[in-house]
Amino acid sequence: SQELEQSPQSLIVQEGKNLTINCTSSKTLYGLYWYKQKYGEGLIFLMMLQKGGEEKSHEKITAKLDEKKQQSSLHITASQPSHAGIYLCGADMSGAQKLVFGQGTRLTINP
Amino acid sequence: GAVVSQHPSWVICKSGTSVKIECRSLDFQATTMFWYRQFPKQSLMLMATSNEGSKATYEQGVEKDKFLINHASLTLSTLTVTSAHPEDSSFYICSARDPGTNQETQYFGPGTRLLVL
């Protein structure tokens, strides 16, 4: 959706390196969700952000939502092969939790 | 986290037949469920919002008579693809809101892959 831009579309990273995925909205968000998907499978919930300036971490993954609530980043520290997959950001633009998704970022981790 | 299941995980059918896909919340009650569709190498697109005890609300461009949604209980929503055609072949994923969590996290099922011959 042009309302939500996710970048980069693909990312190849050496194991152990850090990486960042960005998600930018044209509208102020009620909530921003990060999911991980393996090709042809369902989505694994990672994190949800609601407040401007909010930051959450789980293991080696950190997600932030900017103060304006229009941009979010997902940062992975010391990447591992298990981090490989497709990362999707989903935005709640209406408050009804109907999510608009970005195009996804395909992450490959090289050993 | 909360678990959402879907059945079947994959289905192959002949053109013109109808296919029913079930979405269940296994350990929480969901007054609202969502149905998404994902074409190969594309992102998810919301089709409709399934509301327990009332009619579903459909997104623009989604035919309600084509994609019948029934949310008969707090743990089950069904999507029926009526008179399926090859262009309906896709990956259908449901999600459910867990109102019990502080932030109403939305959990997704494993998806159903539909192939219409």
Domain that holds residue A32: 4-46+54-88
pLDDT score of B67: 97
CA dist., res. B59 & res. B54, Å (int): 16
Q: Is residue A10 situated within a structural domain?
A: yes
Which residues in chain A have Cβ-Cβ distances shorter than 8 Å to B108?
35, 42-45
**pLDDT tens digits, one per residue of B4-30:** 999 999 999 999 999 999 999 998 888
The two beta strands, B112-116 and B10-13, are parallel
Cβ-contact A21, A73 below 8 angstroms: yes
pLDDT at B103: 59
**Would you call B104 an interface residue with chain A, using a CB distance cutoff of 8 Å?**
yes
Where residue A62 sits, what CATH number does that domain have? 2.60.40.10
Q: Is the model more confident about A40 or about A89?
A: A89
Whether residue A20 is contained in a domain is answered as yes
**A77–chain B nearest CA distance, Å:** 23
**CA A91 – CA A28 distance, rounded (Å):** 10
B6 alpha carbon, distance to own chain's centre:
8
Residue B54, pLDDT score: 85
The full 3-state SS of B57-93, as one line of letters, equals EECCCCCCCCEEEEEEECCEEEEEECCCCHHHCEEEE
Query: For chain A, what percent of residues have pLDDT higher than 70?
Result: 98
8 Å CB contact between B46 and B56: no
Per the structure, the count of domains in chain A is 1
Asked whether the beta carbons of residue B49 and residue A96 sit closer than 8 angstroms, the reply is yes
User: Does any domain span residue A102?
Assistant: no
- Could you say which residues from 80 to 99 on chain A have a Cβ atom under 8 Å away from some Cβ of chain B? 88, 90, 96-99
Distance CA A65, CA B5 (A): 30
Residue A100 lies in a domain: no
A97 lies in some domain: no
Residue at A104 is within a domain: no
Classify strands A43-49 and B19-25 as parallel, antiparallel or unpaired: unpaired
Looking at per-residue pLDDT, the higher value among B106 and A23 belongs to: A23
In a domain, A105, yes or no: no
* Confidence (pLDDT) at A85: 95
Please write the tens of the pLDDT for every residue from A7-58.
999 999 999 999 999 999 999 999 999 999 987 788 999 999 999 999 999 8
CB count, 10 Å around CB of A59? 10
Q: Decide if A106 is inside a domain.
A: no
